[in-house]
C-alpha cells in the first residue's frame, strides 16, 4: 500500500429520524444562548419551526439565503446577526443556507449547527464559496466547518424527486473526485465507493416513491459519506468547471453538477483506472460516466447546460476562466478537449469515455 495522509475533521454528527428534537440540547452543548436561524425564502416556515423548538432563545430568523453565497446577502445577514445580539448560527436547508452560515462564521467565529434538508454536503466541509461581481471564489478554513450536524431523515421526505436526484448527483460528484484527487487515500476511497453505491441505489427508489423512508435514509447516509469525502479529500476538474459555470452564468448549483459530472468523469477516465474500477462496482456498470448520465436522464433531471440558461457563446468564456486558475487534475488540461466536453455538456450529449 502506498503511503498516504488522512485528516479527520472535528464535527459531531447526529443521524436518524426525528433527530431535530435534539436541537435545544445540541445548542446548549455549544454554549449558544441566542442563536440566529437561517433559511432561504421558501423555507422560512421551517426556520420558524426550528426557532420555536428553542423556547424563546432564538435571536430571530433570517430567510434571505441565496445560491452561491452572494457577499451582498452575507452583509445583510451580518447586520441582523449583530443587531440581534446573536451568539450562534442554526442553518436549515441546503448548500445556500449552510453557505451563508459559513460566511457569517468566517467573519464572527460563531458556532454553527447545520440541519441539512438536501444531499448537497456543504455541512461536512471546511470549504466556503462566495460570489461577488459575478465571480465565485473558494477558500478552505476550519473556521467555517459546522460544529454539529443534525441529519434528520424527516426533513428530506418533502424534497421533490427531481430535486432529490440533482442534489444526490451533487453529492456523488464529491465522492467521485475524492477517488482520484491529489490527496486521495484508501480511507476516503472506502467512504466514496460506499456513498456512491448508496445514492445510486436510493435515487431511483425515491423517484418511484418519494416517501420511501428506507431509500431516503440510504440517500442521506450516502450524502453524508460523500460530504466527508469532499471535506477531507480534494477536488479536480469537475468542481472547477462547476464553480466557473455557476459563478459566471448564475446557474443552479446542483443541476450544474448533475450535467457536468458525467463529462468531467469521461475526460479523466483514461488517467484514473483504479478509481474507475471502484466506480464500476458502485454504479453496477462498466461505463460509470454513461451510467450517471442515464441515471439523471431517467429521473427527469436536466442533462444540458443550455437548459439551465447558459448561452452558447459562454462556452469560450468558460474555457478561458478555467485555464486562468486551474485546479489540480489527474489528466492534464487540454484546451481543445476541455472546450469539447463543455460543448457536449451544453448540448446534453451522452458522454463517451
Model pLDDT, residue 81 = 98
Q: Burial letters for 302-319: b for 16+ Cβ neighbours within 10 Å, e otherwise?
A: bbebbebebeeebbebbb
Q: Please say if the pLDDT value at position 133 is more than 90.
A: no
Model pLDDT, residue 1 = 56
Q: Please say if the pLDDT value at position 164 is more than 80.
A: yes
Torsion angle, alpha carbons of 170, 39, 87, 50, to 10: -110
Confidence of residue 228 (pLDDT cuts 50, 70, 90): very high
Q: Write the DSSP assignment of 105-165 as a string of letters.
A: HHHH---EEEEESSS--GGG-SEEEEEETTEEEEEE-GGGS-SEEEEEGGGGTTS-HHHHH
Model pLDDT, residue 68 = 86
What pTM does this model have? 0.90
Phi, psi of 144, deg, nearest 5: -100, 0
User: Region 2-10: what's the mean pLDDT?
Assistant: 84
Within 8 A by CB and 6+ apart from 217, the residues are 17, 153
To the nearest whole percent, how much of the chain has pLDDT over 90?
A: 88
Confidence of residue 16 (pLDDT cuts 50, 70, 90): very high
Chain segment 80-95, per-residue pLDDT in tens: 999 999 999 999 999 8
Classify 179 as helix, strand or coil: coil
User: Region 2-12: what's the mean pLDDT?
Assistant: 86
The mean predicted confidence, pLDDT, of the chain is: 95
Task: Extract the C-alpha cell encoding 323.
Answer: 485555464
Phi, psi of 148, deg, nearest 5: -135, 140
Model pLDDT, residue 6 = 85
The answer to whether 210 and 244 are in contact (CB under 8 A) is: no
Q: Please say if the pLDDT value at position 353 is more than 90.
A: no
Q: Measured in whole angstroms, how far is the alpha carbon of residue 153 from the centre of its chain? A: 17
The answer to whether 102 and 131 are in contact (CB under 8 A) is: no
Model pLDDT, residue 7 = 84
Domains of the chain listed by start with CATH number:
12-156 (3.40.50.1970), 161-347 (1.20.1090.10)
Chain segment 264-282, per-residue pLDDT in tens: 999 999 999 999 999 999 9
Q: Please say if the pLDDT value at position 331 is more than 60.
A: yes
Within 8 A by CB and 6+ apart from 224, the residues are 13, 15, 121, 124, 151, 195
Pairing of strands 127-132, 135-140: antiparallel
Model pLDDT, residue 8 = 86
Amino acid at each position: 500500500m502506498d503511503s498516504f495522509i488522512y485528516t479527520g475533521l472535528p464535527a459531531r454528527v447526529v443521524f436518524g429520524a426525528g433527530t431535530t428534537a435534539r436541537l435545544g440540547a445540541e445548542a446548549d452543548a455549544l454554549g449558544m444562548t441566542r442563536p440566529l436561524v437561517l433559511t432561504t425564502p421558501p423555507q422560512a416556515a421551517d426556520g420558524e419551526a426550528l426557532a420555536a423548538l428553542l423556547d424563546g432563545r432564538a435571536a430571530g430568523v433570517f430567510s434571505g439565503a441565496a445560491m452561491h453565497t452572494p457577499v451582498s446577502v452575507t452583509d445583510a445577514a451580518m447586520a441582523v446577526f449583530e443587531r440581534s445580539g446573536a451568539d450562534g448560527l442554526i442553518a436549515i436547508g441546503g448548500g445556500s443556507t449552510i453557505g451563508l452560515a459559513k460566511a457569517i462564521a468566517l467573519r464572527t467565529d460563531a458556532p454553527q449547527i447545520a440541519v441539512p434538508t438536501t444531499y448537497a454536503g456543504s455541512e461536512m466541509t471546511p470549504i466556503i464559496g462566495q460570489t461577488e461581481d459575478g465571480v465565485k471564489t473558494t477558500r478552505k478554513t476550519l473556521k467555517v466547518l459546522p460544529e454539529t450536524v443534525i441529519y434528520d431523515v424527516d426533513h428530506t421526505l418533502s424534497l421533490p424527486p427531481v430535486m432529490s436526484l440533482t442534489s444526490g448527483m451533487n453529492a456523488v460528484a464529491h465522492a467521485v473526485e475524492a477517488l482520484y484527487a491529489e490527496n486521495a487515500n484508501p480511507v476516503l476511497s472506502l467512504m466514496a465507493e460506499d456513498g456512491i453505491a448508496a445514492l445510486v441505489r436510493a435515487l431511483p427508489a425515491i423517484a418511484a416513491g418519494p416517501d420511501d423512508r428506507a431509500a431516503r435514509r440510504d440517500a442521506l447516509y450516502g450524502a453524508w459519506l460523500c460530504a466527508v469525502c469532499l471535506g477531507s479529500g480534494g477536488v479536480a476538474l469537475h468542481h472547477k468547471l462547476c464553480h466557473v459555470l455557476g459563478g459566471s452564468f448564475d446557474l443552479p448549483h446542483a443541476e450544474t453538477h448533475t450535467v457536468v459530472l458525467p463529462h468531467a468523469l469521461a475526460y479523466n477516465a483514461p488517467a484514473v483506472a483504479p478509481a474507475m474500477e471502484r466506480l464500476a462496482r458502485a454504479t453496477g456498470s462498466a461505463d460509470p460516466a454513461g451510467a450517471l448520465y442515464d441515471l439523471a436522464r431517467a429521473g427527469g433531471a436536466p442533462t444540458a447546460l443550455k437548459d439551465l440558461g447558459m448561452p452558447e457563446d459562454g462556452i469560450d468564456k468558460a474555457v478561458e476562466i478555467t485555464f486562468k486558475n486551474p485546479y489540480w487534475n489527474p489528466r492534464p488540461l487540454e484546451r481543445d478537449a476541455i472546450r469539447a466536453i463543455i460543448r457536449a455538456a451544453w448540448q446534453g450529449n451522452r458522454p463517451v469515455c
